[in-house]
Amino acid sequence: MPPPVSLSRSLETCSEEASSSPSVNVRAGATTRTQKTKTSSGNKKRGRVATLKTRPEVEQIFEGLSFFYIPDNDIAPVRRLRINRAKEFGAEWTRDMMTATHVIVEKKLVYKDVEKLWPKDGFGDRAPPKVVNEDYPLDCIQFRAIVDPGQKKYLLDGQVTTETKDKEVLLPTSGVVDSGPGTKSKASSLPLKPQHHNKRKWDYVPPRGTPSQGEESSLMKSLPKANARSKTPPKKDDELSEFISMMQEFKDLPLDVDEDDDAQSTSVGSQHQVDLDQGSGSENERPSKRRSSRRVRPTNKAITFKDRFACNRAGRKDAGQDNPNARTIEMLQKMNSYYERVNDHWRTLAYRKAIGTLKQQTVKITTEEEAYRLPSIGRRLAQKIEEIVTTDKLKRLEYAEEEPTNSALQTFLKIYGVGNKVAQQWIAQGWRTLDDIKQHVKLTPSQMVGVEHYDDLNTRIPRKEVTALGEVVKRAAAKMDPMVQLIIGGSYRRGAESSHDIDFIVTKPGTESVAHLKSFLNTLVAQLERDEFLVARLASSRAGSDGSKWHGCCVLPKIKGLNDDDEEYRPIWRRIDFLLVPEVELGAALIYFTGNDIFNRSMRLLASKKGMRLNQHGLYRDVLRGPDRVKVTEGELVERRDERRIFEILGVTWREPWERWC
């Protein structure tokens, strides 16, 4: 594999600006097709400027800004294109730094190079221009917003940051550059989101009238979007498109690559085409900054089989507040709940996994590439993460939340017994509020309770109260059968500070089937109902079935020292569940009822990959699954009593309940 010498040479030709960035050209050359080899004169003038488009006013994001480029010319085709792009969006190209609002520096250069050009006398009264690398304008265009120029990703080599926060800005010598007004840009960005196949699904449909929503594959990113915009029908032959595709391919590559990159690639060295240049060993782990489609997951970060399962990665609660990615997580969670609402089951799953991954990060994830290297974060999510970090918002989410039916959906789904089908149906019938529902809809008994006690049932239960409720039940139970054990599971067992409901695992030494506990539960429930502790029954075993659970509502009685201080004690309805578990199955049941659900699914998935099966009853092996993965054989029971043994057999290192937050 001889290095592409010839190519690079031809490039150099076109890069008359010598000293600077031969590399750029290399690429251009390599891409041949673009301007046939002989880029020079003829083609060059072929009115690129003439093709300058004017974009709709709303897109004039750079209005009032003037960019000073370093190097100060537009000889290199790529830079010329970039300058023109900036102009399209309202920027002025200035050749005088004194009038510039931003100094756009080629990545190959370091901060010192900028200092050389920096006016010795400063800028007088006016704020000095912001110094950023060439990614800055591109990102602004991509997000259709003036993003914070102080972000790390726009720093030059050798540039020092002033603040430790996210928004640091570097100041040139005399510098007093703050991130300036509008660091939190409010500018509108365009949606970047390919709508999906998602057959037969009521997928989200962007509100009409909003700016192009469209298709835009993740690989296409910003530029193509422009052409595809509704208003201006794309012109196939537009020569700009040629550049566009070229830009897409290279815009994220450092402009220096190639043969000379060598040495300290501390810079955003890229090793694209690593395979080409022999040994040079640039195959360091540098996350290739390219955003092209080519998937190059760094191989160095080998993820072992078992590490791919969430149940094997540590996780504790809390990962929230102080987490450096809190903002990102918050936004993704909103997207997640949106997809939950529209019943996009699998996307919801993907988001939850990604959020889990993010929660475990100890450093802030800033760029797409950085995010992409993490497990369960693919291109699409990585892009969204970068968008959030860069613009502090997510366009896709804004559209989603604008959906008029969205709020009604959100309301209805929080009613016990109402899922997506029913909620959609109600909305289709025109109902939008709880009142509408109360008046016009025939509810099932469960839904009735759900509506009547809507607020109570959607209020989280403080841990302290869960404990208190637990005591009430345990006391009653002990009175009727001291041998029975009640274990509070769910998030409480994981150590949560508040829970959505209370889960009791009801078991008793010596029991081998739920039948042995059924009568006890009936008695217990009956008693607690008389005590007016249990106030509603939502679901309980059907006659014939295994009958192992009971769902209902309860209220905490007035208790000395806990809630008797207020003259007005109002009982709050709480969701309560009982699960009958024969003692022999306690381990499996504990795993199941401790969760969280991602943890459980992960454990079960791992089990199934190992030819085993895990459910609330136990761990089985040699499960035979027929042709359509239909379970043919139950499999042989391996373990069910001992929680730890189940972990062991699955090859999962033991994790305490409070370590099962995924």
Enumerate binding residues for DNA (CB under 7 A): 193-194, 196, 303, 308, 335, 346-347, 349-351, 353-354, 375-382, 396, 415-423, 444-446, 490, 501, 503, 539-542, 544-549, 551, 575, 577, 593, 597, 600-601, 604-605, 607-608, 613-617, 629, 631
Q: Which is nearer to DNA, 108 or 613 (CB)?
A: 613
Q: Give the rounded distance of the alpha carbon of 459 from its chain centre.
A: 26
CB–CB of 87/145 below 8 Å?
Answer: no
Q: Give the rounded distance of the alpha carbon of 60 from its chain centre.
A: 29
Q: Which is nearer to DNA, 91 or 350 (CB)?
A: 350
Closest CA to 251 of 390, 369, 138: 138
Cα torsion 236, 242, 243, 245: sign: positive
The residue with tokens 């030494």 is: 509
Tell me how far apart the alpha carbons of residues 76 and 134 are, in angstroms, rounded to a whole number.
Answer: 13
301 is catalytic: no
Q: Which is nearer to DNA, 168 or 643 (CB)?
A: 643
CB–CB of 213/193 below 8 Å?
Answer: yes
Tell me how far apart the alpha carbons of residues 659 and 495 are, in angstroms, rounded to a whole number.
Answer: 9
Tell me how far apart the alpha carbons of residues 154 and 172 are, in angstroms, rounded to a whole number.
Answer: 14
Q: Which is nearer to DNA, 23 or 447 (CB)?
A: 447
Q: How far is the CB of 157 from DNA (least distance, A)?
A: 30
Tell me how far apart the alpha carbons of residues 194 and 396 are, in angstroms, rounded to a whole number.
Answer: 10
The residue with tokens 């160095």 is: 300
Quick check: helix, strand or coil at residue 135?
helix
Residues with Cβ < 8 Å from 328, sequence gap 6 or more? Answer: 358, 365, 385, 388, 389
Would you state the structure tokens that stand for residue 621, as one six-digit string?
């092996």
Q: Which is nearer to DNA, 419 or 462 (CB)?
A: 419
Q: How far is the CB of 193 from DNA (least distance, A)?
A: 6
Residues with Cβ < 8 Å from 660, sequence gap 6 or more? Answer: 311, 315, 494, 594, 595, 596, 599
On the 0-12 / 13-18 / 19+ scale of CB atoms within 10 A, 256 is buried
Q: How far is the CB of 412 from DNA (least distance, A)?
A: 9
Rg of the chain on CA atoms, in Å = 31
Closest CA to 187 of 163, 220, 211, 213: 211
DSSP string, 402-466: H-HHHHHHHHHHTSTT--HHHHHHHHHTT--SHHHHHHH-PPPHHHHHHHHTHHHHTSPEEHHHH
Q: How far is the CB of 217 from DNA (least distance, A)?
A: 11
Q: How far is the CB of 200 from DNA (least distance, A)?
A: 11
What is the number of residues in the chain? Answer: 662
Tell me how far apart the alpha carbons of residues 555 and 569 are, in angstroms, rounded to a whole number.
Answer: 11
Q: How far is the CB of 607 from DNA (least distance, A)?
A: 6
Helices within 108-234 (DSSP H only): 111-117, 135-143, 222-228
Residues with Cβ < 8 Å from 422, sequence gap 6 or more? Answer: 412, 447
Closest CA to 614 of 648, 630, 591: 591
**Backbone dihedral region for residue 216 (phi beyond 0: left; psi -120 to 50: alpha; all else: beta):** left
Q: Where are the beta strands (DSSP E) in 472-562?
A: 485-488, 498-499, 502-507, 534-540, 549-555
CB–CB of 132/104 below 8 Å?
Answer: yes
CB–CB of 347/339 below 8 Å?
Answer: yes
Tell me which of 384, 393, 508, 549 is the catalytic residue: 384
Q: Which is nearer to DNA, 80 or 500 (CB)?
A: 500
Q: How far is the CB of 424 from DNA (least distance, A)?
A: 8
CB–CB of 88/136 below 8 Å?
Answer: no
Q: How far is the CB of 415 from DNA (least distance, A)?
A: 7
Q: Which is nearer to DNA, 108 or 617 (CB)?
A: 617
What does each C-alpha distance from 48 to 223, 242, 243, 494, 599 come to in angstroms? Answer: 16, 11, 10, 63, 56
Tell me how far apart the alpha carbons of residues 349 and 572 are, in angstroms, rounded to a whole number.
Answer: 32
Give the active site residues: 384
